[in-house]
Amino acid sequence: MIAHIVAVLAPLINCVQQMPQLYKAYETKSVDDLSLGTLLLILLTNLLWLTHGYFIMDYSLLISGVVSLCINSALLALYLIYRKNVKPVAKGPTYRHDDILSDTNKL
């Protein structure tokens, strides 16, 4: 009985694990902290679990697989849309050798 509950809950919780990230990316219009490689691996994993659920006809895996695939595809779409909004890394001030020497002379 407990094993069955875990077998149903685990895929359902897994399918909504990216919802907070999806919401944050949508609200902030920023994907600065997302990794494209990680998103692609998560989508591949979703496809494999969905395929496995189909072969063994496990409805909890099928449902959670479809939901996960939709959520992670939406997150990938937001990544592709908002990645152009990535701010360039601010460069620090540049110093010439003469500037450094003149600053030390003031001490």
Query: Is the distance from CB of 64 to CB of 14 less than 8 angstroms?
Result: yes
pLDDT of residue 4: 83
Burial of 26 (0-12, 13-18, 19+ CB in 10 A): middle
Q: What is the rounded average pLDDT of the residues 55-71? A: 89
Query: Is the distance from CB of 73 to CB of 96 less than 8 angstroms?
Result: no
The rounded distance, in Å, linking the Cα atoms of 7 and 43 is: 21
Q: What angle do CA 8, 9, 15 make, to 5 degrees?
A: 100
CATH class of 2-105: mainly alpha
pTM score, whole prediction: 0.69
Domain boundaries, the chain: 2-105
CA neighbours closer than 13 Å in the CB half-sphere of residue 87? 6
Could you read off the pLDDT of 12-27 as tens digits, one per residue? 788 788 899 999 999 9
